[in-house]
Each structure stands twice: as C-alpha cells, then as structure tokens.
Structure 1
Amino acid sequence: MLTGYKDRLQVDAQYPKWINLSFQFKALILSDLSLSSIPQFLFYQQKLRVIDLSHNKLKEKFPIWLLQNNSNLKFMNLRNNSFVGQLYLPSYAIGNMVWLDLSNNHFTGKLLEDFGDKLLGLQYLNLSQNQFEGTLPSSLGKIRDLVNLDLAFNFFLGEVPNELLVGCSKLEHLRLSHNRFNGQFFSSEFNLSSLFQLELNNNEFTGSLLNVNLETLNILDVSNNYLRGPIPAWANKVSWLISMRNNSFEGQFPCQQPMSASLLFMDLSHNFLFGPLPSCIDFTNIVDIHLEGNKFTGLLQDFLPNSSSCLSVLNLRDNSLSGVIPNLIGTFLNLKLLLLGKNHLKGSIPKTLCLLKNISIMDLSSNSLSGTIPSCFQNLTFGVMEKHNETLEQDQLQIMNEFIDENHIYGDLIKKNLDLVIDIEAIGLNEIYLVDKNRGRSYKGSILNFMSALDMSCNDLTGEIPQELEKFTQIRALNLSHNHFTGSIPVTLSKLSKIESLDLCCNNLSGNIPPELTNLNFLEVFNVSYNNLSGQIPKKGQFSTFEESSYEGNQFLSELPLEKGCTTNIETPHFESLASDATKGKWYEVDLPAFHACFFPAYVVFFLLIVSLLYINPHWLKRPLHFILNINYLLNLALFNILSR
C-alpha cells in the first residue's frame, strides 16, 4: 500500500530506484501531487485493487492498460486531470470494477454501445464535467447495482434510455444536469423509487411530474426545462433542496400537509403559479426562498412567521402581493437579500428594516410605497456582514457514501473520495434578477457575495434624500429614481466610495450637482435627468464620459455634454492633419518626378507593343488605313454638298 497527498510524497515519472518492480501494490493513492505523467512503475503492477491518481496534471489518453493488467481493480479515481480523447474499454467485461470516477477531464466522443455490458458490477460512475456527446447507450440499464450516476456538464443529447429509468432501480443519486437531453423523463414505467438526489436542471425535458411518486427525495432540481402541469403533492416532502425554477408549472402549490422541517432551499420562481403564497413552508431551517416571477397574491403577514433565525434570502419579486411590509421582517436578523419589488405593496417603509444588519441587497422598487426613507437606515451597511453570521451560512451539504469492500481494508484509506459534497452554488441555485446600471441582469453563485444594492425606484416616496446614506460605504448600486424626492443632492453621497451605479432621475431635486461626486472613482452609471437641477455639470474624471441623457430634463443645467456620435467639430481637424501629413500641401497636388518616372516607360512599352503586332501581321495595317480613307471621303463629300448650296 502506497499513499501520498498534497506533495507529501514525491513521485518520479521514471520509476524510482527504491521500488522493486517485482513488488506488487494492492492500493496506490497518488492524489494531488502535481504529476504530469503516469509513473512508469505502474506498467508493471498486476494486483492493484485501488488506484487513485486524482487532482494531478495528467494529460494523456485513458490508461486502458491499467484495467487490462489489473483484473481485480475495484476502485479507479482519475478525476480532476486533463485526460483527453474517447473513452475505450477492454473488449471483455470488467466484472470487479465497483467505483469509476473520470470527472473533470477532457474526454470526448460518444460512450460505446456496450459500455454497460462491460461494467455490470459498477455502483458509482462519475463522468461529469467532460465533453462527452451523443445519446446514452441503452446498456447502462444493465448495471443493476448502480447507486450513483453523474453525467452532468457534458454534451449528451436525445432521450434518456427507458432501460436506465426502469432497470437501475437501486439508483440513489442521479445527475443529468447541464446537457441537451429532451423528451419525457418521467414516463409511466419510471422505476427509480429509491432516489435520494435528482438533478435534471438545464436540459430540454418536457411532460409533467404527475406520473411518478418521489417521496424519498432529499434533493430535487428540475429547473430550466420545459416541464408543465400542476406541482404534485409529493413535492412538499422533499427534505433539503427543491428547485423548479423557469418551467411552466401552474396552479397552486400543494399544501395539504406541512413541508419538511429540514428544508434548506426552495425555488419556484418564473412559473405560472397563483393563489396565496405557500403557507405550509416550515421556516425552522430554511435559508433561501425564491418565488419570483409568478402570480401569487395575498398579504405578506399571512405568509411570514413571527421570526426566523436562518432565513438568508427572501425573493418575492414580480408577483401581485398587496398590503404593507410587515414589521416582523425586522426579526429575520440573518437576512442578506430582501427582494419585494414589482408588487402592489403600499404604506410606509417600516423602521424595523433598520434591524437587518446583514442585508446586502434590498429591492423595494415598483410598488406604491409612500412617506420618507427612515433616518435609521444609517444603521445598515449593505455589504459589510457581521462576523457572527458567517457561522450560520449553509453553502454545502455533505452526503456520506461507503466504498463496499468485503474485507473493509480500504474504506478508511479512501474515505475522502467517497463523500459527495453538494455545493448549492454549483448546481445553479441562488440566482436573483436586478436592474443595475440601467439594464436588468441575473446574479448567481459566488458573485452575490460581492454585490450590494438598494433599489427604491418607482414608488411615491417623498422628502429629502437622507444625509445618513453616507454610511453605505460598501454599496455598489443605489437607485432612488421615479419618486418625489425634493431638496438637493446630498454632498455626503461622495462618501459612497465603492458605488458603480447612482440613479436619481425623475424626482424634484434642485440645486447643483455636487462637484465632490467626482471623487467616486468606480462610478459607471450616473443619472439625474428630469429634475430641477441648475449650475454647471462637473467635468472632472468619469463625469466627462457621461452622455447628455444623464442630465436631460434639467433646463437650468449648463454646458451639457455632446452626444457620442456628433463629429462635426471633431473630424474636420482630423482630416486636415491627415492631408498635411500625407502630401504636405493640397490633396490634388501631383508629385511630378514620380509621374514622369511612371509615364514614359509605360508609353515606350505600349508603342513597341503596337509596332510588334503590325510587324507580325501586315494585313492588320490595311484595316486602319482603309478606315481613315473612308472617313476622309465622307468628310470631303459633306463639304462639297455644303458649298454647292
């Protein structure tokens, strides 16, 4: 047995002298050693049961000889290398192989039709993050003991073979996400009743979920497909993660019984769901709730609990919710993202929102909120989270797996390779939509950790913009446009040192634009159009790059910038300088020495060409002479007729 992790063991590509080539290893783990080629001494090994070359820099074809030389090989891990080419297997069945991980490489081509026939004993197969293509072979359905199948992030296409969905009844983890699969996955013959984890997201699957019952699921992700119909009753029994984002599900969410208390993540956004918000959600452990882009109605206070210590993301944008923002939201002390924009909310902004010390993105836009911005908003930091909250974040889930070995010799040795770490960000969850820098965009994954924004646009807010907003030193985007704010633009906004987008348009602001704002070095978008501003526009720094549209609608502002594309006074000097450099005079002046040098040789060549042609065939000379005589005769005849009159 030989092991080496993270450069604790140095291995030469040439076989080391201290290795006796007659010595046979049973387990060899050379993981994370920056190997650039497979060590030569492996060619002489014939009794290997465990081989782990993962997390290296190996760039060659699949080492089929390892399988041919070691008939007892059970565990093979080559993940996170740079293996290339098509995956070829020996011509015979490999009966002892239980665990095969080739993920995160550069394998290409189709899987062989007899792929499943040669690996009938597999329990774990991971081919994810490669470049495999084509349809799946139906022989995969013959691997009856398969427990984990991961084909995510490839270019597979077509329908999933029915043999797989019927024959692999022991499957617990199935990942087909980020491919090009289509057709109906949940057929009437679907027989995967033991599934723990099912990820089908980012494909082109159709049909509904009514034909199956998957109450055993802890993880379900069918987002970004073409699924339709009602959400089945078993969906509210999913224990950890449920994502149905961006499909065509319709109707009300089934709430015949409470959802699981262990649910961490829920995303039903961008469907056609209606009725009241799901009242059966258990807020005990849930971290993220995304219900954006549906037709939910009702009052927020009927949906939210009295408090929640875990909730980090509450996304209810683009629905038809009504009523006021309830005060109890202020009790969700770990809330980082609060998105209530594009609803029918009214009333004032509750001061309890000032208790959300960990908030980084707040969207209250496109409602009917009135009153002023509470001065206690200075207590919010937008992007600077308190340290105590870091321990509460649940970004990963770990699933323990067991390497089945009859003698239990290698289980502890390779245990680190058997734990399936599920990264919430990696499976496409936690995505939000914001209007930022004058255009809408989606933010997802780790980028959300660096984004901070406050959007109160398109409401009926009044009063002055609070001076206390200077406390938002980490904020990236601030949008107060389309309200009824009065007074001047606070000079204190110049302290928003990280801001990239500042939109104050369509209000009743007056006074000048503070020149101190030119100190905002990261500002890319600035809009104060349609106010009552006056005075000069700052010209320093990036303010000289903002277009006229950023200032229009302020009739007392002076020295508006020219629109980009107006070239009347810019291009003329440019062309003059080009003419001066090229000719040192007028454009039509001719360089006489150059003209003579080109003209006279050309004239001589043309003359000699004519003489040569006439010398070769003298009869050609008669034709032009005959033509000249005819012309002369016609001219004389015409002259005679004129004189005779």
Structure 2
Amino acid sequence: RDRDGDYKVGSSFWSTFIHELSSLQQGSLEMPRLFVFLLFSLSITVASASRWRCLPEDAQVVNEIFAALNRTTFTGDCCHLFSMIQCNPNTSSVTSFSLFGDDFNGPIPAAIAKFPNLQFLSIHKMPNLHGGIPPSFASLTKLTYFRITWTNVSGPIPSWLNRLTNLGGLDLSYNQFSGSIPPTLADLPSLTWLHLDRNKLTGPIPESFGQFRGANPSIFLSHNSLSGPIPKSLGRVDFSTIDLDRNLLVGDPSHLFNNRSKSLSTLILSRNLFDFDLTGVTFPSGLQILDFSHNMIGGSIPTEITSLANLQQFNVSYNRLCGRIPQGGNMQKFDSSSYMHNRCLCGPPLSAKLC
C-alpha cells in the first residue's frame, strides 16, 4: 500500500478487489452497509447457475458467521456470495473472505477460522467491531494476506501471528491495538508488507526487525507512540519503504539509509525526536520521498542530495539545519516550505536569507 492507501499486488483479481476496498476507504465510492452486500449476494445466488458448489463444511461455517452477525440462515451456494467470498474453481473450497460495513456491533466472528483453505482475509471499515483478534485465527496457516483495518478492535497484537508462515501482507492499521510490537513478527519468512500504523502502540521497535527475510519489505509504523532509538539491526535490511511518522523515536537513524545501493524509495521519519548531524550523509540512489521534518536534526544538507534523480517529495522543515541549500537536480522542485523553521539555512528558495 502506498501513502494514499492504494494497494499493489500481483494478481489481477486481488488488484481489482483491493482497489475497490481502497476506493471505499478513501471515500471515492459510497460505503454500502454490510446488509446491502448480503442482499446483493443473495440476489446473485438466485439469478445465476454456477459450476461451483460450496463445500458442505464451508457452508456450515458461513452460517455460523451469519449467526454471529445476526443474519438469517443462508441456504444457497456460498461460492456465489461474491461480495464476501471467493472459492477455488477446482476444489470449491473458500479461499477468500471479506467483511466490510458499519452495521454490525460485536466481536470478530471466531468461526472465520474454520475455513481450512483461507488465503485472503479482509475485515475493513467496521467501526463497531470490538474485542481482540480471536486466538482461533492462529490456525489460518494458509493465509497470504490478512487485513483488519478501520475498526475498534483492541488489545495487544498477538505474538502467535508468527504461526501464519505464508503471510506476505499484514495490515492492522487504523485500529485500537496497544502495547508493544511483538518481536515474533520478524519470524514470518515471506512478510514484505507490514502496516501497524494508526494504533496506540508503545515501546521500542523490536531488534528482531533486522531479521526480516522477505524481499525489500515495507514497514508502516506511523501515528503510534513508539519510543527509543531505531535498532542498528534494521540497517541490515534492504527496505523498500519506511514510514515512522509521528512517534517518539530518538537518536541517529542514518543506518537505515546511509548507503547508495539500498532499494529504499520512501523514507518518512517526520515528527519524531531524531537528533543527528545530516552533514555527509548519503542516500539510496532511487529515493523518491524523503521527509525529515519536525525533528532536531543539525548540520547541513549534503550536496550529494542533488544527484537523486527520482526525488519527488522532500521536506526538512522544523529542524536545526544550517548552511547553503544545495542547488541543481530535482532540488529546484521544492519551495520554501521544504526548508522553513531551521536554525540558519540560507539561499534559494529562502529568498530572504542570503548566504
């Protein structure tokens, strides 16, 4: 998912499906209620004939979930519940399940864990959903994508998530999760996409996050209350995106990015308590977004930054920087708002401050 909330995955079906969910999240489409989706699915069931037939055991699980949602018993082919379910065309087993809507008040239905072949699980935009993640979800070991977003689900993030060893994407953003980040998340061998942003998480970033094995992982930990320095171990990981905006992190984070050969394209460290000398620091050559604003960073802006040919967004405002602002390259794109409220930066575009 990029900063605007858009999801990027390989499969055309998932791309379309997640794009629709993201459009709903961003308000570009009207958010239907869960009840409307269920009625729509039932109408499709009546109107269509399918080569698939829901497995009896999966149909039973659907009715357990419906009971938890205070819905009437479903008697059709659950593989026709297109707004909620996708089935494997060869085995007819349920492989994808999603819930979204704002008319249900209660905990996450634990019966979801009874789908033995579930690969995709999305629970989105259900603000009245509360409680924790059911422990029974530890049995969903075939999941490759797990999403609970924009709900009132709370409590600690379960340490048993490391049992879901096929996970490539985990999104628990925009919830009420609290406590520390479980170090066991780094045990997931295929995890390349981790969203824990917009929660109430505290404590340090785990040292174990330097052991991520997924290719070029992206981590989104913004809008929490994480504290302490960033572990040196994270410098060993070739991240694609790092977003740590709006936390209480301290110290020198340059080990995350001080290497031109890294794959890092997005680096957001804004609104923390970072305190280090920027002079002489190097950056990954493919960097596109760099936001260091609202910290306590000193020194000067290195001239090497003018060589970043892909740089599209840049902000070092509200720091303690001094010296001449480098000119050339993509730096001409950025106006005074990228540099304001520093100790003694000078030169264009800060026209009032000549060097």
TM-score (norm 1): 0.42
Alignment partner, residue 257 of structure 2: 469
- Report the Cα offset of residue 221 of structure 1: 4.4
Change (3 A) 1:375 1:221: farther
- Aligned-partner Cα distance in 2 for 1:343–1:507: 21
Alignment partner, residue 544 of structure 1: 332
Change (3 A) 1:319 1:540: same
- Aligned-partner Cα distance in 2 for 1:319–1:298: 10
SS at match of 1:516: helix
Alignment partner, residue 150 of structure 2: 293
- Aligned-partner Cα distance in 1 for 2:81–2:298: 53
Change (3 A) 1:161 1:267: closer
- Aligned-partner Cα distance in 2 for 1:454–1:211: 45
> Is the 1:219–1:240 Cα contact (8 Å) retained in structure 2?
no
Alignment partner, residue 71 of structure 2: 210
Q: Which amino acid aligns with 2:293?
A: C
- Aligned-partner Cα distance in 1 for 2:210–2:76: 41
Alignment partner, residue 483 of structure 1: 272
> Is the 1:221–1:244 Cα contact (8 Å) retained in structure 2?
no
- Aligned-partner Cα distance in 1 for 2:154–2:80: 28
- Aligned-partner Cα distance in 2 for 1:530–1:466: 18
- Aligned-partner Cα distance in 2 for 1:305–1:521: 39
Unaligned residue ranges in structure 1 (runs of 5+): 1-158, 175-191, 198-207, 224-237, 383-451, 564-645
- Report the Cα offset of residue 524 of structure 1: 0.8
For residue 355 of structure 1, the aligned residue among 208, 211, 233 is: 211
- Aligned-partner Cα distance in 1 for 2:310–2:172: 30
- Aligned-partner Cα distance in 2 for 1:351–1:262: 33
- Aligned-partner Cα distance in 1 for 2:47–2:318: 66
Alignment partner, residue 247 of structure 2: 459
- Aligned-partner Cα distance in 1 for 2:320–2:116: 54
- Report the Cα offset of residue 248 of structure 1: 4.5
Q: Which amino acid aligns with 1:353?
A: F
Moved more, 469-478 or 480-489: 469-478
Matches within 5 A, 1:176-575: 210-213=71-74, 217=78, 220-222=81-83, 239-245=94-100, 248-255=103-110, 258-272=113-127, 273-281=129-137, 282-301=139-158, 304-358=160-214, 359-382=216-239, 452-471=240-259, 473-489=262-278, 491-494=280-283, 496-561=284-349
> Is the 1:339–1:362 Cα contact (8 Å) retained in structure 2?
yes
- Aligned-partner Cα distance in 2 for 1:264–1:329: 18
- Report the Cα offset of residue 488 of structure 1: 1.3
> Is the 1:222–1:245 Cα contact (8 Å) retained in structure 2?
no
Q: Which amino acid aligns with 1:489?
A: L
- Aligned-partner Cα distance in 2 for 1:532–1:287: 44
- Report the Cα offset of residue 211 of structure 1: 2.7
Aligned-pair identity in percent equals: 27
SS at match of 1:488: coil
- Report the Cα offset of residue 531 of structure 1: 0.3
Change (3 A) 1:215 1:367: farther
> Is the 2:94–2:115 Cα contact (8 Å) retained in structure 1?
yes
Change (3 A) 1:220 1:479: farther
- Report the Cα offset of residue 491 of structure 1: 3.5
- Aligned-partner Cα distance in 1 for 2:194–2:349: 37
The higher relative CO (CA closer than 8 Å, separation ≥ 6) is in 2
- Report the Cα offset of residue 365 of structure 1: 0.8
Q: Which amino acid aligns with 2:307?
A: N
Change (3 A) 1:166 1:354: same
- Aligned-partner Cα distance in 2 for 1:212–1:509: 60
> Is the 1:283–1:311 Cα contact (8 Å) retained in structure 2?
no
- Aligned-partner Cα distance in 1 for 2:243–2:41: 48
- Aligned-partner Cα distance in 1 for 2:165–2:43: 45
Spell out, residue by residue over 1:174-231, the C-alpha distance to the aligned partner (whole angstroms, 9 max, x if none): 9xxxxxxxxxxxxxxxxx999x99xxxxxxxxxx8813426963585427xxxxxxxx
Rg larger for:
1
Q: Which amino acid aligns with 1:322?
A: S
- Report the Cα offset of residue 357 of structure 1: 2.4
> Is the 1:357–1:379 Cα contact (8 Å) retained in structure 2?
no
- Report the Cα offset of residue 360 of structure 1: 2.3
- Aligned-partner Cα distance in 1 for 2:41–2:242: 48
Change (3 A) 1:164 1:484: closer
Matches within 5 A, 1:54-203: 165-166=45-46, 171-172=50-51
SS at match of 1:300: coil
- Aligned-partner Cα distance in 2 for 1:278–1:215: 27
Change (3 A) 1:314 1:162: closer
SS at match of 1:561: coil
Unaligned residue ranges in structure 2 (runs of 5+): 1-38, 60-68, 85-92
Q: How many residues align?
A: 292
- Report the Cα offset of residue 276 of structure 1: 0.9
- Aligned-partner Cα distance in 1 for 2:42–2:346: 71
- Aligned-partner Cα distance in 2 for 1:479–1:504: 7
- Report the Cα offset of residue 508 of structure 1: 0.3
- Aligned-partner Cα distance in 2 for 1:462–1:167: 60
- Aligned-partner Cα distance in 2 for 1:164–1:487: 60
> Is the 1:375–1:466 Cα contact (8 Å) retained in structure 2?
no
Spell out, residue by residue over 1:150-185, the C-alpha distance to the aligned partner (whole angstroms, 9 max, x if none): xxxxxxxxx9799975475x53559xxxxxxxxxxx
Spell out, residue by residue over 1:456-509, the C-alpha distance to the aligned partner (whole angstroms, 9 max, x if none): 111111011233523472122100000001111263433x11111000000000
- Aligned-partner Cα distance in 1 for 2:277–2:184: 33
- Report the Cα offset of residue 340 of structure 1: 0.3
- Aligned-partner Cα distance in 2 for 1:356–1:276: 26
- Report the Cα offset of residue 244 of structure 1: 2.3
TM-score (norm 2): 0.73
- Aligned-partner Cα distance in 1 for 2:77–2:258: 51
> Is the 2:141–2:163 Cα contact (8 Å) retained in structure 1?
no
- Aligned-partner Cα distance in 2 for 1:305–1:321: 14
